[in-house]
Amino acid sequence: MGGPGFLGLRLGQDWLIVAIWGAADWFRLDGRLLSDFFWQRHGRERPWTDDPEVDSKALFRGWRIRSVELHRDSITISFDGHHVLRLASDPLNRPVHEGDGSPRQVEADDDLRFAVFLSPTAGLWV
């Protein structure tokens, strides 16, 4: 098994971390999922991380963040060049959990605003 699969964007010396388990499976970049291990099984569009034409490790390299909107149940990061990274508030905009088919949703007592933070390192202990 891998780690928790948090999403991290390097900002100079620091990292902007989105601490959601399997975060790339929740986010869409320009409408396309960052990661979706089961995209073929369900006939969904190929995600960014599985596209042979894209170096997913360099996907955001050189992009400047224009704005960040954090809400209890959604996150939107806009970049120069009109790129948008979004975790939409509607669970229908995300793949379901493969195991039990339940929607990926932010529970009523959770708040995504507490899941985003700056870190001086990419190495985190959870």
- pLDDT tens-place string over residues 62-114: 999 999 999 999 999 999 999 999 999 999 888 888 889 888 899 999 999 99
Which pLDDT value is given to residue 56? 84
Which pLDDT value is given to residue 98? 87
Strand 75-79 to strand 65-70: parallel, antiparallel, or no bridges (unpaired)?
Answer: antiparallel
Which pLDDT value is given to residue 1? 45
Which pLDDT value is given to residue 5? 87
Which pLDDT value is given to residue 54? 93
**Which of 78, 87, 65, 84 minimizes the C-alpha distance to 14?**
65
- pLDDT tens-place string over residues 15-46: 999 999 999 999 999 999 999 999 999 899 99
Q: 16 - beta bridge partners?
A: 9, 118
Q: Output the six-digit token pair for 46.
A: 């190929």
Which pLDDT value is given to residue 48? 96
- Phi/psi at 56 (5° precision): -65, -25
DSSP letter assigned to residue 44? P
Domain ranges of the chain: 24-112
